[in-house]
Structure 1
Amino acid sequence: MKNEIVKATHKVVTIAENADPFQAFGDAVAPQYILGKLLKFTKGDWLAGENSEHVDPKTSFIVGMPALMTGWVRWHEFKPVEHAMVRIGSRLLPPPRDELGHNDPSTWETDDRGDKRDPWQLMSYLPMVANGEVFTFAASSKGGFEALGKLSRVYAAHRRPAPDELPVVTLGSGGYAHARREFGYVKTPSFPVTGWVPASQFNDIVALAGYDVPDGNELAPSEHSAAPAAAAKRDDMDDDIPF
């Protein structure tokens, strides 16, 4: 039998006419998850950047809700090495945990308490701007997800009559008594909404800082649209992440 060379066929993907092909390539091979400084809520304090600088909680932030992402982040040696994220506005759901691999607990790393820790952790990223700077709030705990959930519901109600506006928030905090008494009172983040501004104000600051402007607001669904599946809840003691 004569050997033959079989050429593989590839499906051609068309890039939209209004999209920059170089930006499309960059988004495909090196997607941006953290824009600007990482914003964290740690033990009741708001911290930003590599040096964990304190942020005044009274600072007004414009929140880029259309850029809110959620999904899975894989950690190795306390660093994020892989993402499986979706943008909330895409109406897509992150893949199930068991499809991501690394399912054998015996191979997992241990946390600072000596417990085995699943390398894939649920996270959400939300870009924000304040005083001309870009930040990304990272949520990985019960408190962080609840804060984003409350803000998302406020935004969903407001964007029906005003789809081109984004919320202005300050950095608040709350908390709850942990079920395990030895952990005491657990502080959690919150985002009190103080006003609304045109989305262009957020987009201009993001673009000036050299980042891709997030996709525009998707149309708000009708009041009778089905809700997406709920995200899994976490019961962390703090809204910190292992950076």
Structure 2
Amino acid sequence: MKPLEGKIAVVTGASRGIGRAIALRLAKDGALVSVHYAKNEEAANETVQEIEATGGQAFAIQYPFELASNMQAFFEKLDSKLQAITGNTTFDILVNNAGISYMGTIEDISEEAFDQVMAVNLKSPFFLTQLALNRLRNEGRIINISSASTQNNFPGTLIYNLSKAGLNTLTQNLAKQLGTRGITVNALLPGVVETEINAERLKNPEDKKYAAQSSVFNRLGQVEDIADVVAFFASPDSRWVTGQIVDTSGGGTL
């Protein structure tokens, strides 16, 4: 029996990059996966099709996380899909992965940019989780994708770092609150991962080499490196681990 057989997972920002790899891995482990996306319908459908081609189950759900996001509207869509497929609206695993980056030191950051990054990276997972709590089954899992930048203190990604540091605090507070329900809450700290979002940053061979050197393994992170750790935290094997901020940077914060 697969470790997530009979489980339902909601993965935000799952049409590409780390989120896509997480969706693929959780489906491989037996979960029915809700592949959330903001805009790229084609990529989301491709993720669903790849899951189905290998015998898994998935469906796509579109909703943009932004300044004026209404999480109730997101859950109306999700509830409708789950009701049609499973007969109820409960699920087992929430992966808060959707996020945006922003480059700039404090002098470069406008109030609009600050609000946008905070809305997507912190406010959205906060209220998404809030509304998920009465749908998340006991013994469930919440996994937040944070960033190693919260440890490295790079001034050029200041507001991104702030948003992810808030996500770390949310993780540990929720872990204490939800322990009585057997729900674990953990966060991962990826370093530089070779994804579309980092393509511009890594297009120069010298920049790519420099980024690889941030890891003790002297290579860039791959999306599967992160998805495999998520799979552990989503599984029954992680039942005794909660409130942890786990470095998944390949030793990049050492």
By the TM > 0.5 criterion, same fold? no
- Which entry has the higher C-alpha Rg, 1 or 2? 1
- Which structure dedicates a bigger proportion of its chain to strand? 1
Q: Which has the higher contact order (CA 8 A, sep 6+)?
A: 1
Normalised to the residue count of structure 1, the TM-score between the two structures is 0.28
